[in-house]
Structure 1
Amino acid sequence: MTLFFHDLPYDVNGLAWRPRINALRIETTANDVSFFKHYRTVEHRNGTTSKKLAQMKKGIYSIGALQKLLLDLNRRYLQFISDLTDPSAGVKKLEKVTTTVVENHRPYKGFNFFDNDDQEVFLAIASGEFTISGFQNKHLRQKINSKNTSQISRILKRLRTHGLIKKVAKTYKYYLTRFGSRVITMGLKLRELYIIPELAGLA
């Protein structure tokens, strides 16, 4: 059995996981490598060159960078799906997420898994597409339509101060941290699979 994940921005790239006896093989396809970005030498129209973050180019030149990027992608996705099946993930660390953090004399309140706004944020950043390519302010705005740019920036700061996301150096891109992935996954599972059904069953 093969499952393909088509929730990516482009359907020409994707992940597949193929169950084998006592094993699980993760495969990544990348038919359009320009979807990915990396630091490389860019030639300008005036003949000069510079190192900058740019779209990956097709060709042998990009094989090394593409290999590293796809290996990192597979590793992040394996971490992501392992959190879905690990019942111990993040339970004891929920307190760290829900407690107010003070940075530079400015408080950043904790997250509440029963708050609709916070839950919307968690569901957004836990999207499979962000596991692959990361996310920026504009990507979250597309998923959280009720928030403007400054409000999303504030949310990103809260997520960073609580250790749930990390910023890629010299970019505006973020990824879930290992801690963030485990806590958010477990928090959402507890809410949807246990707490809400139990409350619904009360007389």
Structure 2
Amino acid sequence: TKRFIEALPTVDTDTVTLKEIKEISKAKEVNGRRYSEFNLLSENDLELFKEISDAGYLIRGFNNKQLRKKLYEDSRNQKNISKMTRTLAKLRKHGIIKKAARKNNYCLTAKGRRITTSIQMYTGKEVLG
């Protein structure tokens, strides 16, 4: 319930700084491992942000399989499974999602909600599903 209340679409444009948007647009290195940037001009990345901010994931979160079914035509292809695993790792390292305790589900962080909502608002995409 707490996640649902926090996710209500209240976007304060002063809170979502250009710094946060620029941060995810640059590669990040954690423990000697490089995680690539998000291209905010890419239709694939915009679709990913739209999908992870879907209201259906507010309570239970989402997992690799659910996202693959929505984003890829052939969700059972091993190449797509691996690609989604890397994408989830990249989202985690950029601070957009976090892993739910003792589950294989992920949910948006407060930073992730601010970023996805503002990106969709500025690109004219649907906000929260």
Tell me the TM-score range normalised by the shorter chain. Answer: 0.7 to 0.9
Matched, 1:88 2:29: no
Matched, 1:123 2:50: yes
Unaligned residue ranges in structure 1 (runs of 5+): 1-72, 194-203
Unaligned residue ranges in structure 2 (runs of 5+): none
TM-score after normalising by structure 2: 0.83
Deviation at 1:105, TM superposition (A): 2.0
Aligned residue number for residue 156 of structure 1: 88
Post-superposition CA distance 1:117-148 (Å, at most 9, x none) = 11111011011011121011111011111562
Matched, 1:113 2:40: yes
Runs of 4+ in 1 over 3 A off after TM superposition: none
Q: Is the 8 A contact 1:113 1:191 kept in 2?
A: no
Q: Tell which structure's C-alpha radius of gyration is larger.
A: 1
SS in 2 for 1:132: coil
Matched positions, count: 119
TM-score after normalising by structure 1: 0.54
Higher relative contact order (CA 8 A, sep 6+): 2
Question: C-alpha separation between the residues in 2 aligned to 1:168 and 1:132?
Answer: 11
Equivalent AA in structure 1 for residue 86 of structure 2: R
Deviation at 1:113, TM superposition (A): 1.9
Of the candidates 133, 154, 158, which is equivalent to residue 60 of structure 2?
Answer: 133
CA-atom RMSD in angstroms: 1.7
Post-superposition CA distance 1:2-39 (Å, at most 9, x none) = xxxxxxxxxxxxxxxxxxxxxxxxxxxxxxxxxxxxxx
